[in-house]
Structure 1
Amino acid sequence: MGKKIASLEDAPADAALIRQVIARAGHECVTFRESRRLLLALRDAGFDLLLLDWQMPDLSGREVLAWVRTHLDRRVPVMFLTCRDAEHDIVNALTGGADDYMVKPVRQAELAARIECLLRRACPAYLAPHAPLRLGDYAFDCATRQVTCNGHPVGLTPKEFDLAVLLFRNEGRIVTRDHITAAVWGREISPMSRTIDTHVSRVRSKLGLHAAHGLRLTPVYTHG
């Protein structure tokens, strides 16, 4: 399954090339030409990887990194893609929480390889979507699409199973409604629809997601 990647880049040619590389790798790229627009988007939407240019017209990429590491899940990988090649800049970014640093001009094959490497590290199930999943008292067999709790089978519909796997693979993270919609339904769902809420409620009830089983499913207002 393709991932959603945010690219902070104000140079049109570089932005287009980055989108091309990401699209060829089978992922979705959303370009932001202003740092503040990216920060606003990060409050509402989930991204699997952030690519940051350093020199931006408003807030620098380094300032964006500081905000991200303060407010977002630290497991979301961040990579700098910038013209700044001084050693102290690279060290500053990496010690500030960046996971990788690549100096422009963009080398397409290298960028694609670095992106895949970061996604593999951040998402262990990325290359093995059918690998068994165990968490707390729960075990998911993604090949046969069966789930058990303390060894007892739990009956889930196909959509409920997909939703449960998505939530369990993102344990400890906020999963946004947009991410759920794209990953489970593969299409847009009206904001007024109760489809997602209904399925989340059923998954919570059927799996008994409460402290006694070591896991809880909790809504986060305005986020997911």
Structure 2
Amino acid sequence: MRIASVEDDPDQARLIRKILVEAGFECESYATGAALLRALREQAFDLLVVDWQLPDTSGIELVSWVRQTSGAMPPILFLTSRTAEEDIVAGLDVGADDYMLKPIRAGELLARARSLLRRAYPEATQDADVIRRGSYCVDPRARTITLGGEVVTVSPREYELALFLFRNMGRLLSRDVVEQAVWGRAIGAGSRTVDTHMSRLRIKLALRPENGVRLTSVYSHGYRFEETGAEDEPRA
């Protein structure tokens, strides 16, 4: 799983990355909040490890921005030297999921990271089997989707939406459920965000019966994503 670490001290950044990489995680290090925000526009991470003090912003402001933009995911672990209760509460109140006091201890960092990942991605951490449906292959570990053996390029949010659909095939999914599962919050009755993402995904992944699946809009409720058989394919 992919972890982003935001730490401006080079020695601390190397230590964090060393601990996580040796434990089998992928880890990208960033020295500023701005560098992380640029990366989040292009990449998806399963966990953020954020230092409280950064040269261009505070960890509090960075966590707040991530939560307002990305919702409840990914989980965030605060690293801090502050021990005052009000500081810790402030960090948790803006959206951090856990905190760890410095100096960094390898065992504690791994334990807290693994705990957050288990809670946030129960299917991915307990059962990361590749999903194969029709002409599609969804790999939760590699975070890739292939159609007919070819990798399809999707945005991080589109990937999360596609993974949610493939894990819930055959179910009637309300917009509220989709919003909470993929965006981590209610978006609003007048928003077209979910519909727009569904439409883009339908086009990018060619979600059609000839590829073994069907994505259907259910009036006044939401969506149903299901497998199709040979009898559903268009006749010549």
8 A contact 1:7–1:50 mirrored in 2: yes
Decide whether the 8 Å contact of 2:117 with 2:125 is kept in 1. Answer: no
> Per-residue deviation at 1:73?
2.8
Work out the CA distance in 2 between the residues paired with 1:202 and 1:105. 50
The reply to whether residue 200 of structure 1 matches residue 195 of structure 2 is: no
Please report the TM-score for the alignment, with normalisation by the length of structure 1: 0.67
Partner SS for 1:101: strand
Task: Give the whole-Å Cα distance in 1 for the aligned partners of 2:109 and 2:20.
Answer: 9
SS, match of residue 50 in structure 1: strand
Residues 92-107 of structure 1: pairs in structure 2 closer than 5 A: 92-107=90-105
Do 1:160 and 1:202's aligned partners in 2 also have CA atoms closer than 8 Å? no
* Unaligned 5+ runs, structure 1: 132-141, 148-154, 175-195, 217-224
Contact 1:160/1:199 (<8 A) preserved: no
Match of 1:209 among 208, 211, 215: 215
Letter in 2 for 1:206: G
Structure 2 length-normalised TM: 0.64
Structure 2: gaps (5+ residues)? 138-145, 153-158, 166-177, 184-200, 226-236
Per the alignment, residue 89 of structure 2 pairs with: 91
SS in 2 for 1:17: helix
Corresponding residue number in structure 2 for 1:113: 111
Q: Is the contact made by 1:9 and 1:52 (CA closer than 8 Å) also made in structure 2?
A: yes
Asked if the contact 2:52–2:60 (Cα under 8 Å) also holds between the matched residues in 1, the reply is yes
- Distance in 2, Cα, partners of 1:59 & 1:95: 18
Q: Match for residue 11 of structure 2?
A: 13
Aligned-CA RMSD value: 3.1
- Whether the aligned pair in 2 keeps the contact of 1:79 and 1:101 (CA below 8 Å) is yes
Equivalent position amino acid for 2:50 in 1 = L
Q: Aligned equivalents of 1:161 and 1:52: distance in 2? A: 39
**Aligned-residue offset at 1:209:** 1.4
C-alpha deviation, 1:101, in angstroms: 0.4
The letter for the 2-side match of 1:107 is R
Aligned-partner Cα distance in 2 for 1:58–1:130: 37
- Calculate percent identity across the aligned residue pairs: 38
Secondary structure at the residue paired with 1:18?
helix
Deviation at 1:129, TM superposition (A): 2.2
Structure 2 counterpart of 1:122, from 113, 116, 120: 120
- Superposed counterparts of 1:68-217, under 5 Å: 68-129=66-127, 147=133, 155-156=134-135, 158=137, 159-160=146-147, 167-169=162-164, 172-173=181-182, 200-202=205-207, 206-212=212-218, 214-215=223-224
Counterparts in 2 of 1:99 and 1:201: CA distance versus 1, 3 Å: same
2:207–2:214 CA contact under 8 A, matched in 1: no
Counterpart contact for 2:164–2:182, Cα < 8 Å? no
Amino acid at match of 1:102: M
Tell me the alpha carbon deviations over residues 185-211 of structure 1, each in whole angstroms, 9 at most, x when there is no partner. xxxxxxxxxxx9987125786311121
* Structure 1 partner of 2:172: none
Name the SS for the 2:212 alignment partner.
helix
How far, CA to CA, are the matches of 2:72 and 2:128 in structure 1? 25
Counterpart of 1:56 (choices 19, 37, 54) is 54
> Which structure dedicates a bigger proportion of its chain to strand?
2
- Offset, 1:21: 1.2
1:123/1:157 CA distance change after superposition, 3 Å: closer
Instruction: Give yes or no for contact 1:160–1:203 (8 Å, CA) kept in 2.
Output: no
Seen in structure 2, the aligned counterparts of structure 1 residues 203 and 30 have a Cα distance that, compared at 3 Å, is: farther
Q: Is the 8 A contact 1:5 1:49 kept in 2?
A: yes
